[in-house]
A and B are shown apart, each in its own frame.
Chain A
Amino acid sequence: MKFTRKLALKNLKRKPGRTAALILLSAFLALSVFGGSLIVMSLQNGLDSYESRLGADIIIVPKEARSHGSIESILLQGIPGYFYMNDSALEKARNTEGVEIATPQFYLASASAGCCSVSVQIIGFDPETDFTIKPWISKSYRGEVGDGDLIVGCNIEVPSSRILTFYNQEYNVAGQLERTGTGLDNAVYANMNTIRQMMENSVLMGFDYFSDVPFEHAVSAVMIKVQDGYDIDQVTGDLNIHIRRVEAEKAKSMVSDIASGLTSVSRVIGLLTIMIWILSIVILIVAFAMIVNERKKEFAVLRVMGASRKMLSGLLLAESGITSIAGAVTGVLFAALILFPFLGTIQRSLNLPMLLPSMPVILLLAAGSVVLSAAAGALTGAVSARRITKAETGMILREDV
């Protein structure tokens, strides 16, 4: 082993407190960059997942939908809720110029009473015309969603019998979806016939979800794909004019609230990460300067024995390099230990969708964080190394009377 590395290791070993403090500072650097980046990336992934989940250009909901809570939270986050309009709106939408496809969606909240296995949002779709849910489901479930079949989000606990009961009727769990990082992981999906049957059963059990809309004609939302060459704003306006008692809204503006929330949170996290970085680097520079100052005599003795300036630099760089690498690895591991098990808690507290990037991306991010933090730590050592090697040893020895 090279002399400088060997001596650096011995120096670090003999001063465990000082070494631990330096490792801790470097760990803090790595933790902030890895943790911060991972959260921001997960938030961005969550938003992307939302946008792809919507998949429509325009969404039509009943005007009263606003009074049933946030439409966005029902449509996008799978928070149990409901609103209904007459399916005549669907026909009118199909007949509007510029509309390529119009497909209905049905939202039914399961009851928390004994008639239902779990309290969830049930989302129904028409397999004939659907273009938003099916492509997304097909990523993790390849079969047809037949009558009486349910596809469940990844957070739904499926009993070994694979049977779930809703409004006193048993349904077969045909498949379970991959994690999306959104509240839709808590929802259950069924085709139009299945959800119509659930709606009917709920009415028979005395639940009054539909007010003046006959349940057999009730739809919750109409998802619209606009024909190429048509302006989405124009079609949205036309739909609002031609169909009474509904609200047509561009899908992008539905996620804009979430996107702006995400931008704010990402900005705060980014700023915090930068601040922690600057603070940690300043502390590291000050710490190294103090250490080097305290060890001036030691370095002078090494010079007396014949160490060149390059050797002294090498020694300091080796020490800062070892502590920085150890700290960076510790920081990334610690960040992973905090983030992965508590991602759900973080998501709930931020109230924003989060979806972890894929494993290769996480590993790349971890490696990048280690390299960046280790380099920053080593660089602070280099600043001190430059200072000490510039000093005349004779002057240091002269000070030490």
Chain B
Amino acid sequence: MILRAENATRQYFRQGKGTNVFTALHETNLSLESGTLTEVIGRSGSGKRTLLNLFAGLLAPTSGKIFAGDTDLYAMEDMERSKFRNEAIGVVPQGQTGLKSLTVLENVLLPCEMYGISGREQQAEELLRKVDILDLKNVYPSELSGGEMRRLAIARALIRDPGIILADEPTSDLDDENTRIVLGLLRECADSGKAVLLVTHETEAAAYADRVYRMEKGVLTEVPKEEE
């Protein structure tokens, strides 16, 4: 399954002295392809998260379309789009996103439980082993470090074995070692055939990417390999 943005534009209404419209994303075209790690770099507020949310089916474009294969993602009903996201897209959101009332293992299993899929404990434990936090499976997210939390989010994003991974600043506020671990895991995902989108403001991640784009004031431009 490939995600594709076609002339996607997203505007926000800002209310201050009078209402004005702010365009966060200008007629953007981008395809996420299987086995490819695509990186979008840019400053805070440049529009890269808006692009990721559009691909995740969480924010409708003001104009243009997002296609999942041949299907317009935003022509789907909420229930259908939510189920599609659950099955086909693994999102690693920015920040501390573990649900505090659930243990690490329960957090990883949650996307399965949502749709009544049981018996995935072994798979969840394998994923936790892979991201090196299996020994923490019974603790609550409040006891995890930033790096451990990010690894939990990756394991959770992978539990449904989706074809697409969308990672939002997965290495922000991580130390060098944890940054390497997290980027290595995303690279592994791409190598295993998944389409990975990594949005970040950190240029160091470019070394792990197959394609690099720069987002500036809502305009996306590809960065030639030699510039990385």
Residues of chain B at the chain A interface (Cβ within 8 Å): 44, 49-50, 53-54, 56, 58-60, 78-79, 82-83, 85-87, 91, 93-95, 97, 99-102, 106, 110-111, 113-116, 140, 156, 160, 168
Contacts and interface: CB of A to CB of B under 8 A. Distances in A.
Q: What 7 A-B pairs are tightest by C-beta distance, nearest first?
A: A306-B86, A394-B59, A394-B53, A14-B101, A308-B82, A394-B58, A393-B58
Interface in A1-52: 3, 6-7, 10-11, 13-15
B94 A305 contact: no
A274 interface: no
Nearest to A311: B114
B25 to A, nearest CB: 11
Contact of A393 (B44, B59, B87, B156): B59
Given A305-B91, A308-B83, 16 more contacts: A7-B113, A10-B101, A297-B97, A298-B100, A304-B58, A304-B91, A305-B86, A306-B85, A307-B82, A307-B114, A393-B53, A394-B58, A397-B53, A397-B94, A400-B95, A401-B44
Nearest to A15: B101
Nearest to A8: B101
Contacts of B168: 397
A301 to B, nearest CB: 5
Question: Looking at chain A's contact residues, is the secondary structure mostly helix, strand, loop, or mixed?
Answer: helix
Contacts of B53: 393-394, 397-398
B78 A3 contact: no
Given A393-B58, A395-B59, A306 B87 contact: yes
A217 B106 CA distance: 91
A398 B79 contact: no
- Give the contact-size bracket for chain A: 20 to 34
A303 interface: yes
A11 B113 CA distance: 15
A298 B95 CA distance: 12
Nearest to B98: A301
A108 B87 CA distance: 88
Name the residue among A7, A310, A394, A400 with the largest chain B CB count within 10 angstroms: A394
A392 B59 contact: yes
A301 B97 contact: yes
A13 B99 CA distance: 13
A306 to B, nearest CB: 2
Contacts of B114: 3, 305-307, 311
A308 B156 contact: no
A397 B93 contact: yes
A174 to B, nearest CB: 67
B82 A306 contact: yes
A306 B111 CA distance: 7
A392 B60 contact: yes
Nearest to A6: B113
Interface in A263-310: 297-298, 300-310
Contacts of B49: 397-398
A3 B110 CA distance: 9
Interface string A340-352: 0000000000000
Interface string A372-388: 00000000000000000
A400 B110 CA distance: 22
26 contacts: A6-B113, A7-B110, A7-B113, A14-B100, A14-B101, A14-B140, A300-B93, A303-B58, A304-B58, A305-B86, A305-B110, A306-B85, A306-B86, A307-B114, A308-B79, A308-B83, A309-B78, A309-B82, A310-B79, A311-B114, A393-B53, A393-B58, A394-B54, A394-B56, A401-B44, A401-B94
Contacts of A301: 93, 97, 99
Interface of A: 3, 6-7, 10-11, 13-15, 297-298, 300-311, 392-395, 397-398, 400-401
A315 to B, nearest CB: 10
Contacts of B85: 304-306
Contacts of B160: 306
B50 A394 contact: yes
Contacts of B97: 297, 301, 304
B116 to A, nearest CB: 7
A313 B50 CA distance: 25
Nearest to A393: B58
A298 B97 CA distance: 7
Nearest to B110: A305
A394 B8 CA distance: 15
A15 B99 CA distance: 12
A7 B101 contact: yes
Contacts of B79: 308, 310
B102 A303 contact: no
B156 A306 contact: no
A308 B77 CA distance: 10
Contacts of A311: 82, 114
Contact of A11 (B58, B93, B95, B101): B101
A392 B95 CA distance: 19
A200 B65 CA distance: 107
A304 B93 contact: yes
B99 A392 contact: no
B94 A400 contact: yes
A6 B116 CA distance: 12
Contacts of B56: 304, 394
B111 A305 contact: yes
